[in-house]
Amino acid sequence: MNVQAALTAAASRLTQAGIDGAAGDARRLMAHVLGVDPAMLITLMDTPLSDADRAGFDLAITRRAKREPVSHIIGRRDFYAHEFAVTADVLDPRPETETLVELALAAPFRHVLDLGTGSGAILLSLMAARPDATGVGVDISPAALEVARINADALGVGGRVSLLQGSWFAPVSGRFDLVVANPPYISADEYRHLAPELRLWEPRQALVAEESGLAAYRAILTDLASFLAPGGRALLEIGATQGAAVMALAREAGFDAPSVHPDLDGRDRVLSVAIR
């Protein structure tokens, strides 16, 4: 069987499993198995697959048909300007979160705190873009911190990053001119309706929060001012319907001019607050 025939059969199988973008997923998995860039596959369509490559591809397609994310199968996900290792212990970094990174880079910073760092995608993207900055990443999960540590070393920024285990500000000391976070913001009811790729394969504690998805914002905003340096700011990713609610929480916490920024699709995506 050549590459083209294997891709055609795999795309059909994934479509029958209810997967959108089946052909694209099949191509990414084939490229992974063959160890080539996906753009190179077009030149390999007539190439016969070895027994080992065919077995590896069949296994990858079987995993994808069970709704395991492609990123988990290949072990990495592109985000912003870099590639990050991902596992089932961390959320996949997603394109909409790049809005937060862009907003962070729109102003100077030297010392960054990332709450719920997960894979480290936000913090490490900022460190890579600002060679004079240092950062602290916090996560309650030791397994997630290990993934972040791997990514920090891979990007060559490990020497400027400290990774601490704990809940939100609990293990943190000092003040920061930038605090960032992509906290859990999905309600328990919404969680039941998520795609299987999220519900079955990504860590629930990184997705779901009490108070209709607002509990993490309340916890962060309550203590935030104590960890911001004079002139410091914070950027928190939010759900697309949460803009008004999180601004109200920010005002309740003493921030007098909160604002919400949209992502590229025009949906509410990032809450920003600052202190003078």
166 and 248 together in one domain: yes
Question: What's the number of domains the chain is made of?
Answer: 2
CATH of the domain at 214: 3.40.50.150
What tokens were used for 202? 């990504």
- Least trusted range by pLDDT, from 19-28, 95-104, 200-209: 200-209
Q: Return phi, psi of residue 135, to 5°.
A: -145, 160
39 and 104 together in one domain: no
Angle value at C-alpha 242, between 230 and 228, nearest 5 degrees: 10
pTM above the 0.95 mark? no
Q: How many CB atoms lie within 10 A of CB 109?
A: 21
Does any domain span residue 75?
no
254 and 173 together in one domain: yes
Between the two ends of the chain, the Cα-to-Cα distance in Å is 66
Residue 211 has pLDDT above 90, yes or no: no
Range of the domain at 48: 3-66
Q: Which of these, 47, 54, 60, 63, lies nearest to 4 by C-alpha position?
A: 47
147 and 124 together in one domain: yes
Average per-residue pLDDT in the chain? Answer: 96
159 and 239 together in one domain: yes
Span 36-82, pLDDT tens digits: 999 999 999 999 999 999 999 999 999 999 999 999 999 999 999 89
Does any domain span residue 73?
no
Sign of CA dihedral 218, 222, 223, 229: positive
Residue with tokens 């309340």: 218
Instruction: Look up residue 93 and give its DSSP letter.
Output: P
Which of 15, 31, 66 terminates a domain? The answer is 66
